[in-house]
Amino acid sequence: MFSRTAFSAFRPIARPTALRPVRAPAFQLPSILHARLLSSETKAAIDKAVGSAPVVLFMKGTPETPQCGFSRASIQILGLQGVDPKKFVAFNVLEDPELRQGVKEYSDWPTIPQLYLDKEFVGGCDILMSMHQNGELSKMLEEKGVLVAADQ
């Protein structure tokens, strides 16, 4: 139990003597209307990045040193699946704030990491995890021919 002296520094909040009207904040547009428009230069750069390899991951950090748990998990999943390193490229969004925001607008997906397979957006870490667990990712990667060959 607390001693009475522990509360001696606290004073009751003074109540206003008269009620004052509360002003509503100025009218604001919904946040969806505040979204940045993806510049044509950034879109072209992301298009080029997405087309640079059959498997593309936009992540925080690098495959060798991921900078967040979700990026680490995504790299681990791709490794467990047996993705061929020759058919894989990763882009560190922490190096470029415009890329970090632009890729979110490009895919209309709010989080990073983001995986693209043959220029098609697959999803983020949660989607990869789910697809890995239910076998869909393995099937998709095999169909796209991006796994290390069995004889290697």
Domain containing residue 88: CATH number: 3.40.30.10
106 Cβ contact list (under 8 Å, min separation 6): 38, 43, 46
In the structure, what pLDDT confidence band is assigned to residue 38 with cuts at 50, 70 and 90? confident
> Is the whole-model pTM more than 0.85?
no
Count of domains for the chain: 1
117: nearest Cα among 106, 109, 128, 126: 128
Residue 30 lies in a domain: no
Q: Which domain holds residue 114?
A: 39-144
Largest CA distance in the chain: 84
Residue 136 lies in a domain: yes
Residue 47 lies in a domain: yes
In the structure, what pLDDT confidence band is assigned to residue 134 with cuts at 50, 70 and 90? very high
Residue 6 lies in a domain: no
- Reply yes or no on whether the pLDDT at 26 is more than 60: no
- Reply yes or no on whether the pLDDT at 87 is more than 60: yes
140: nearest Cα among 149, 131, 127: 131
> Which of 16-20, 33-37, 76-80, 146-150 has the weakest average pLDDT?
16-20
Residue 52 lies in a domain: yes
What is d(CA 148, CA 10) in angstroms, rounded to the nearest whole number?
Answer: 67
What is d(CA 116, CA 77) in angstroms, rounded to the nearest whole number?
Answer: 14
Residue 2 lies in a domain: no
Residue 85 lies in a domain: yes
91: nearest Cα among 123, 140, 134, 48: 48
115 Cβ contact list (under 8 Å, min separation 6): 55, 56, 57, 74, 78, 121, 122, 123, 124, 127, 128
**CA angle, 84 as apex, 75 and 94 as ends, to 5°?**
35
Residue 4 lies in a domain: no
